[in-house]
Amino acid sequence: MNGEQSGLGPPEWKRRWIALRNRVLGSVGFQDWAARVPPFSFVARRRAAQVFDLVAGFSYTQVLLAVVEVKLLDLLEKEPCNAATIAAHAGLSRDAALRLVRAATALDLAQEVSPGWWMLGQQGAALRTNDGALAMIRHHPLLYADLADPVALLQRDRSKPTALADFWRYGAQIPGDTANRYSELMATSQDMVAREAIAAYRFDRHKRLLDVGGGHGAFARAVADACPDLALGVFDLPPVIAGTARLIESASLASRVALHPGDFFNDSIPQGYDCITLVRILHDHDDAQSLELLRAIRRALPPGGRLIIAEPMAKTPGAQAMGDAYFGMYLWAMNSGRPRSADEYGEMLQSAGFARWQQVKTRQPIIASLIVSST
């Protein structure tokens, strides 16, 4: 279950074909010819842009981080702004403000609506109201610190601490502000996953739903709004649940959402629920732990009960980069877990004793894929 494939490797014809293709594409003469001859020139330009995006990607993310940190999106949403207004708002010199807003314009976060005046771009407009994405962007400096030397990160002993691993470990286990910041990040980033899951699966077919590792109840609250007759529960660590009660109470859901403090690796999964959800939980844990959790959930579910797994997955068409490139490195820096494909989860579910499983299509697989399994 480590994601490696056994066998004798690719057939000879495939190996030869790929080797030939790569020699041609790597040829300077071919590249020069393709750049001059339509329609190959269009493909050549697109490929060159993709290569440059790979080279410059970190600069793009830093521009994005700067835009979010100085709240440039909020400023540009209100009315057209010039460089002087942007500089005063962001606490930058005029030259620095121009450099930032022009970089943001190149990434479609801003748009120059007339010479020297800017408003939100299309990407900026979509991002400004996406609380989950904004929370992750603010959180990313921890990941960037760990990725400053990616080869050293890959070579190191995974038992050694990283900035990202320390945040998740201490955030989940220490009461107070640290636990609150941890769960608030989880809650805002889970809103997007909740929307995808609710659109893809009819949760109202169940009577009682338990969200395991449910944090501050973001997913449970979203399902409660969508399914007014469904009783719900949230199971998570005691310091996390301590902050959940206030949010559940403020949402007037105390009578519908039961709170269960506990550790799903050391305590029994609460019973009496015909549906259990794991929302962005399994990919955070290594194979042995994930299989142990799946077996515990199988024991807790009644006959005919269902388990719903919702998270970004590897080898998902249209979302391969998010699955293996982003989450692959993110989880490596976190010292735990890995992205898995739907088929890998299927094997784990069968090993855990589930009778059937199927992948359910979501609208945005780059945000989350969905697996439905039954006892």
Nearby residues of 355 by Cβ (< 8 Å), 6 or more positions away: 374, 375
- Predicted confidence band at 173 (pLDDT cuts at 50, 70, 90)? low
Q: What is the mean pLDDT of residues 169-174?
A: 54
d(CA 62, CA 49): 19
Per-residue pLDDT at 230: 96
Single-letter code of the amino acid located at 305: G
d(CA 293, CA 352): 9
- H/E stretch holding 209: strand 208-212
Where are the alpha helices (H) located in the chain, listed in sequence order? 12-25, 28-36, 40-69, 72-78, 83-90, 94-106, 122-128, 131-146, 150-155, 163-173, 177-200, 218-226, 238-250, 287-300, 320, 327-333, 342-351
Per-residue pLDDT at 199: 94
- Predicted confidence band at 183 (pLDDT cuts at 50, 70, 90)? low
- Predicted confidence band at 84 (pLDDT cuts at 50, 70, 90)? very high
Contact indicator for 354, 375 with CB cutoff of 8 Å: yes
Per-residue pLDDT at 5: 55
Reply yes or no on whether the pLDDT at 180 is more than 70.
Answer: no
- Predicted confidence band at 168 (pLDDT cuts at 50, 70, 90)? confident
Per-residue pLDDT at 92: 97
- Predicted confidence band at 57 (pLDDT cuts at 50, 70, 90)? confident
- Predicted confidence band at 343 (pLDDT cuts at 50, 70, 90)? very high
Reply yes or no on whether the pLDDT at 278 is more than 80.
Answer: yes
d(CA 18, CA 188): 43
d(CA 182, CA 177): 9
Reply yes or no on whether the pLDDT at 134 is more than 80.
Answer: yes
d(CA 280, CA 331): 12
Per-residue pLDDT at 19: 86
Residue percentage of the chain with pLDDT more than 70: 93
- Predicted confidence band at 201 (pLDDT cuts at 50, 70, 90)? very high
* Average predicted confidence (pLDDT) for the chain: 89
Would the CA dihedral through 219, 225, 374, 359 be positive or negative? negative
Where are the alpha helices (H) located in 174-286, listed in sequence order? 177-200, 218-226, 238-250
- In the DSSP assignment, the letter for residue 203 is G
Reply yes or no on whether the pLDDT at 6 is more than 60.
Answer: no
User: 3-state class of 193 per DSSP?
Assistant: helix
Closest CA to 293 of 260, 267, 314: 267
Cα angle value 119/123/125 (rounded, 5°): 55
Contact indicator for 334, 162 with CB cutoff of 8 Å: yes
Reply yes or no on whether the pLDDT at 197 is more than 60.
Answer: yes
Domains and CATH numbers, the chain: 12-127 (1.10.10.10), 131-374 (3.40.50.150)
Structure tokens at 204: 């109202």
Reply yes or no on whether the pLDDT at 170 is more than 60.
Answer: no
Evaluate if pTM is beyond 0.85.
Answer: no
Omega before 39 within 30 of 0, i.e. cis: yes
Other CB atoms within 10 A of residue 306 CB: 22
Q: What is the mean pLDDT of residues 118-127?
A: 95
Residue percentage of the chain with pLDDT more than 90: 58
Contact indicator for 124, 73 with CB cutoff of 8 Å: yes
**Residue/partner pairs of 21-27 with CB below 8 Å, 24 or more apart:** none
Nearby residues of 226 by Cβ (< 8 Å), 6 or more positions away: 198, 203, 204
Per-residue pLDDT at 127: 93
Per-residue pLDDT at 184: 61
DSSP 212-238: ET-TTTHHHHHHHHH-TT-EEEEEE-H
Q: How far is CA 108 from the centre of its chain?
A: 22
- Predicted confidence band at 165 (pLDDT cuts at 50, 70, 90)? confident
